[in-house]
Amino acid sequence: MPCRIAILVSLGYNNRMRDMFSKRSEAGSHDQNALARIHERLATEGRTLKELSQSNPTRVNLVHDTSLFELSSRWNELYTPEPRGLLSARSALVSHFSTLRRCVEVENLFLCASTSEGYSWLFKLLCDPGDAVLIPKPGYPLFEHLAALENVKTIAYTLEYAHASGWHIDIDAIAAALAGQEGARIKALIVINPNNPTGSYVRRAERSRLLDLSERYGLALISDEVFFDFPLDRAVERSSFMGERRVLTFVLDGLSKRLGMPQMKLGWIALSGPEGGVFAARRRLELIADTFLSAGTPIMNALPGLLARESEFLSQMLLRIRTNYDLYREILEGYEGSPHRVLVCQGGWTALVESPAYLDEERAAQALLEVAGISAQPGYFFDFERGVHFAFSLIIPEDKARAWCVEYRNFFDTLQME
């Protein structure tokens, strides 16, 4: 009997109680995996772990002006329940994006607590129970939970890797899934632009084929652009879906990544598309948003001031992610006969490293943690099916990135000798 269930049974949990709960919350009843258990044990033993996959921007020694977190405004006393969020905050976003040459109308912006919540609203808007959405693989595991909690199925489409040219979306596989419809009505195509953890932007040619397919099959397009403004190279080919008019389009973004402020809880959905569809979607989304009224007044009042400081934050982060990416390549690939490869990455906060299979991936992750004290997310976490991959954070301080990456390399050197 798995250990968590055994504990629950000893506390009087029985089948009747189990039936009380919804199927969609079932993922929350699963036992922790072995890696998480080792992590917890080492942490309780007081071991300081090297968080090589750290993606929490509040834990990576960024220089932030602390007054940005204070949110003091005399307007915070007033509660104005607007379904889409305060007009002043939405107007600030419209002008901010226009300086980035991205276009969204103020009436088509919906503020919510986070991008994750934005997804749940969109699933409510677009899907009935049992409907499906297309998601990228490798991809961030959160999407499956978000969909499952709304009784929505996910169908994965693959991103293929070639070291010479990087990641490519397997669009033929998407076309095949749509043609077959795999027993579920597919309602939306989700792209992560750039994808997490592959760091690949949607290419121009891919974009046009994805739009063709969405148009042909009547799909909504959801583009998650939380990492869009973190390109590793100025020249990288990237284009935002914000303002796209061919199909009903929802661009998700928020302060969590854009300003490294996940704790402030503000995200948004930018809607665009053919006029009739936008009108209908806006009415329905307004009802959903009005039911929750999630965005807090203090953070909405603070938004114009926060956006004014965005470029400071971005330049700090861009320097860091570019420096760390180069560092990882130098340490892991910069010598003859290196068995490691840092996969081509165009942007975002994560680089993927492929390492030799001296151990299978799960055992390598466990040994890395127990022996070297390095906590790194293995490829299976992101649905990699082959090889040994680890996610390296691009946002950790440079001295840690260097030291931990050298320890990682040494760990594999030792494995090779055993």
Ligand X SMILES: Cc1ncc(COP(=O)(O)O)c(C=O)c1O
* Contact window for ligand X (CB under 6 A) among 64-72, 108-116, 238-246, 368-376: 108-116
And the tokens for 160?
A: 């293929």
408 — alpha (psi -120 to 50), left (phi > 0) or beta?
A: alpha
Among 254, 260, 347, 378, binds ligand X (CB under 6 A): 254
Q: Which is nearer to ligand X, 58 or 311 (CB)?
A: 58
Question: Residues 110-129 vs ligand X: string with x where CB under 6 A?
Answer: ----xxx-------------
8 Å CB contact between 140 and 377:
no
In sequence order, what are the residues at sequence separation of 6 or more whose Cβ sits closer than 8 angstroms to the Cβ of residue 59? 51
- Residue placing its CB nearer to ligand X in the complex, 108 or 195: 195
Give the nearer residue to ligand X in terms of CB position, either 260 or 372: 260
Give the count of beta carbons closer than 10 Å to the beta carbon of residue 245.
14
Q: Are strands 249-254 and 267-272 parallel, antiparallel or unpaired?
A: antiparallel
Instruction: Please identify which residue in 108, 198, 249, 256 interacts with ligand X, judged by CB under 6 A.
Output: 256
Q: Does 273 contact ligand X by CB under 6 A?
A: no
User: CA–CA separation, 190 vs 187, rounded Å?
Assistant: 10
Q: Sketch the per residue contact string, 164 through 203, with ligand X: x for CB under 6 A, - otherwise.
A: ----------------------------x---x-------
Contact status: 243 vs ligand X (CB under 6 A)? no
Identify the burial level of 346 via C-beta atoms within 10 angstroms of its C-beta, where 0-12 means exposed, 13-18 middle and 19 or more buried: buried
DSSP state letter for 150 = T
* Interaction of residue 140 with ligand X, rule CB under 6 A: yes
Count CA atoms within 13 Å of residue 227 on its CB side: 26
Between 146 and 331, CB nearer to ligand X: 146
Q: Which is nearer to ligand X, 188 or 192 (CB)?
A: 192
Q: How far is the CB of 274 from ligand X (least distance, A)?
A: 26
Size of the site for ligand X (CB under 6 A): 13
Shortest distance in whole angstroms from residue 330 CB to ligand X? 26
Residue 262 lies near ligand X (rule: CB under 6 A): yes
Per rule CB under 6 A, is residue 355 in the interface with ligand X?
A: no
In b/e form, how buried is each residue of 156-189, taking b as 16+ CB within 10 angstroms?
bbbbebeeeebbebeeebbbebbeeeeebebbbb
Contact between 226 and ligand X by CB under 6 A: the answer reads yes
Tell me the one-letter amino acid at 42. L
Residue ranges binding ligand X (CB under 6 A): 55, 114-116, 140, 192, 196, 224, 226, 254, 256, 262, 267
